[in-house]
Structure 1
Amino acid sequence: MTPCQCQCQCHVNVNASGRYEFKLWNLIIRPPRATYDESDLGPAEFVAGGVRATRRDVKLRTQRGVLLSCSFFSPSQDKKAEIQRFPVVVYLHGNSSSRLEACNLVGALISQRMALFCFDAAGCGQSEGEYVSLGWHERDDLAAVISFLRRLPTCGQIGLWGRSMGAATALMHSGRDSDLGALCLDSSFASLRQLVEELAQSKDFPWPLPVPSWLVGAVLAIIRVRVKALADFDIEDLVPLHHARRSSAPAIFLHGRRDSFIQLRHSQQLYDAYSGSKEFIMVEGDHNSARGGQVVGHIINFFKRCLRQVALESSTACNKLLLKSVALLALPCETFVSAQVDHRISVACCLVPVRCKQP
């Protein structure tokens, strides 16, 4: 989430409760949409840390019919060697961000021979959708993404790296996916109701005054009805804390010491409840601060340890499948796919570009 961007303006002829309610529900389900050009994502072929890699773009239609704009950065296959599976880290951005948020991780992951898959969540960036749901619907979209990846012959173990809304999404999915290899959960909230109550009474956000304690209940009731009508979920049901108790993949919890948007205690609650092996890292900075190189390096080493490459048995069937996939990758046009049927990804245009030799 990016609270500094969420200064919604409301009409002067509404009462105090209406002003608070309008700003809060916009902050939850309709923050400013990030905009960018696809060229910002970088070249189609590049080298990072001596590893040749490619970026492929895919349009993925989820079960609820939303078309997601995605990018898949992966080490290149050696055509003369056996098929190799690479671990894949799926990055999940915050609620007013986009897949560009993941681009500064590409080089570090590729250099360790790990792939990165990132996408604009519904209602964000270049994906379809009007509203975000802070993880409620996004977890099902994530399930479609993971299903798509697991059908790729070059996909190894999958880990999730989420920030803010993305961290909540990862946590709410992880409890139902025992095959996940690792999680990095950066600045998730423990309960949406708890977060909204804290924001309503905060002095740091763009309403004239903190919501008086006697008005909080009324404001939350209005927000609940409004969010349910527009975005089809109940804020009372969005409790990542409940899912932490059902998750078992190794996890790193990360939070900024000076985060006044989602307070540190949210991650502490999640960490305490988490049932798998876990680590807690408290970093300097606030909710939107960049994570330093040392922290990023530690997380990447964590994924490297957990997402051990799974050797793919060399077989005629697998080789035929890979050749078919490589042929599809060479398609010059953008290809739309369904999460439920056969998939195709297309060449599109992060790092040191590679010049292609002309025949």
Structure 2
Amino acid sequence: MKGKKWPKISIGIIIILFIIDAVAGFFFYNLAIDRNQKDFLQDNTDLEVSAEAMDVFMKGDWRNWVSNQQFEEVEMTSYDGLALNGYFLPAKEPTNKTVILAHGYLGSGKDMGLYGQYYYEKLGYNLLMPDARGHGQSEGDYIGFGWHDRLDYVDWINLMVDKLGPDTEIVLHGVSMGAATVLMTSGEKLPANVKAIVSDSAYTSVKDMFAYQMKRMYHLPSFPILPTVSLVTDMRAGYSLSEASALDQVKKAEVPILYVHGNADTFVPTRMSKELYENTKSEAEIMTVDGAGHGESFVVDQDRYKEKLSSFLERYVKE
């Protein structure tokens, strides 16, 4: 009798583990990907910033600058029927130079005003700052982490070319999730109007990022939970975590890419940008910033960042 119990016990254990894994898969989907209130990043030490950086992010002059601009709201329908929203600002003087900025996780288009002000005031660019799907005023009930967004950015590029003319020269500049977005866009078939891409604090893939954060934040192994999260994401949002890869996309890139990453970034480790740089098919450069945490490079070493950005763009944007 005892021997006959073991198969039943084993089957029971397997069923329990399967249920736990399924629950965990839906839990992490709702936690990170579903469009809802996100509290899990509060008090995350990996996202702590210096008092100086916090002051710039929260109270910097760029916020007043954004509030004082007369942005044109631009609407676009995505390939899968979502109404997407963006904010366009023509340059002070007529120009063919346009930058399309890509914000980070849980942000919105106008959060990129920190960079937009420099492009507008000092470099003389037209600006477009879209709200990513699932963010801001754009529709979408999930966060794409750059994967479906890459196709949205192809459409934003084409919209700008149609709006501004065939001589338009376009730069893509993203931070964090936005950096992954523009890198994922780099692997698509892009018009010759796209001259350069700037990636600040990007991750190699959504799968790599989730595996890193599950271990760091929750002390959990990626297997078997991560494949289940990926399956739930595929069912609910239409993409798997493994296919959402900036690394695979830059291996196909034709547009020059500048990588920037803080050496003190523990939220998205610096090694990810280095791996991306080493695998980029197109011309590429990388700059790391000592003492900068996640997305802080522009604030921590603003002069060096601007100098590197300007010199990089001068080589490829030839208005």
TM-score (norm 2): 0.76
Once the 2 structures are TM-superposed, how far is the Cα of residue 279 of structure 1 from its aligned partner?
A: 1.1
Residues 276-355 of structure 1: matches in 2 within 5 Å? Answer: 276-283=282-289, 284-289=291-296, 291-292=298-299, 293-298=302-307, 299-309=309-319
Residues 5-154 of structure 1: matches in 2 within 5 Å? Answer: 17=21, 20-22=24-26, 24-30=28-34, 41-45=66-70, 55-76=71-92, 84-111=94-121, 112-153=123-164
Task: Give the length in aligned residue pairs.
Answer: 270
Once the 2 structures are TM-superposed, how far is the Cα of residue 253 of structure 1 from its aligned partner?
A: 0.6
| Conservation of the 8 A alpha-carbon contact between 1:33 and 1:97 | no
1:266 to 266, 272, 277: 272
Q: Whole-Å Cα distance in 2 between the matches of residues 240 and 27 of structure 1?
A: 22
Deviates more, 1:162-171 or 1:143-152: 162-171
Matching residue of 1:316? none
1:171 to 172, 175, 183: 183
Structure 1 runs not aligned, ≥5 long: 1-14, 46-54, 78-83, 310-359
| Conservation of the 8 A alpha-carbon contact between 2:84 and 2:131 | yes
Residues 124 and 33 from structure 1, CA distance in 2 versus in 1: closer, same or farther, beyond 3 angstroms? farther
Q: Whole-Å Cα distance in 1 between the matches of residues 296 and 22 of structure 2?
A: 31
Aligned-partner SS, 2:68: coil
Q: Whole-Å Cα distance in 1 between the matches of residues 229 and 236 of structure 2?
A: 10
Once the 2 structures are TM-superposed, how far is the Cα of residue 108 of structure 1 from its aligned partner?
A: 1.6
Once the 2 structures are TM-superposed, how far is the Cα of residue 288 of structure 1 from its aligned partner?
A: 4.1
Once the 2 structures are TM-superposed, how far is the Cα of residue 18 of structure 1 from its aligned partner?
A: 6.1
Q: Whole-Å Cα distance in 2 between the matches of residues 196 and 94 of structure 1?
A: 16
Q: Whole-Å Cα distance in 1 between the matches of residues 35 and 312 of structure 2?
A: 32
Aligned-partner SS, 2:213: helix
2:172 to 160, 169, 173: 160
| Conservation of the 8 A alpha-carbon contact between 2:25 and 2:226 | yes
Deviation sequence 1:212-242 (CA, Å, 0-9, x none):
x4xx312112201211111111112112111
| Conservation of the 8 A alpha-carbon contact between 2:88 and 2:126 | yes
Deviation sequence 1:197-222 (CA, Å, 0-9, x none):
221111xx2x4xx01x4xx3121122
Structure 2 runs not aligned, ≥5 long: 1-18, 39-62
Name the % identity: 23
More helix by share: 2
Q: Whole-Å Cα distance in 2 between the matches of residues 127 and 20 of structure 1?
A: 28
The one-letter code sitting in structure 2 at the alignment partner of 1:193 is: K
Aligned-partner SS, 2:147: coil
The one-letter code sitting in structure 2 at the alignment partner of 1:182 is: A
Larger RCO (CA under 8 A, 6+ residues apart): 1
Q: Whole-Å Cα distance in 2 between the matches of residues 107 and 194 of structure 1?
A: 32
Residues 33 and 307 from structure 1, CA distance in 2 versus in 1: closer, same or farther, beyond 3 angstroms? farther
TM-score (norm 1): 0.68
Aligned-residue Cα RMSD (Å) equals 2.6
Matching residue of 1:322? none
Aligned-partner SS, 2:275: helix
Residues 186 and 44 from structure 1, CA distance in 2 versus in 1: closer, same or farther, beyond 3 angstroms? closer
Q: Whole-Å Cα distance in 2 between the matches of residues 238 and 153 of structure 1?
A: 31
Aligned-partner SS, 1:279: strand
| Conservation of the 8 A alpha-carbon contact between 1:170 and 1:183 | yes
Q: Whole-Å Cα distance in 1 between the matches of residues 88 and 318 of structure 2?
A: 19
Residues 245-260 of structure 1: matches in 2 within 5 Å? Answer: 245-260=251-266
| Conservation of the 8 A alpha-carbon contact between 2:74 and 2:85 | yes
Q: Whole-Å Cα distance in 2 between the matches of residues 226 and 29 of structure 1?
A: 10
Matching residue of 1:313? none
Matching residue of 1:182? 196
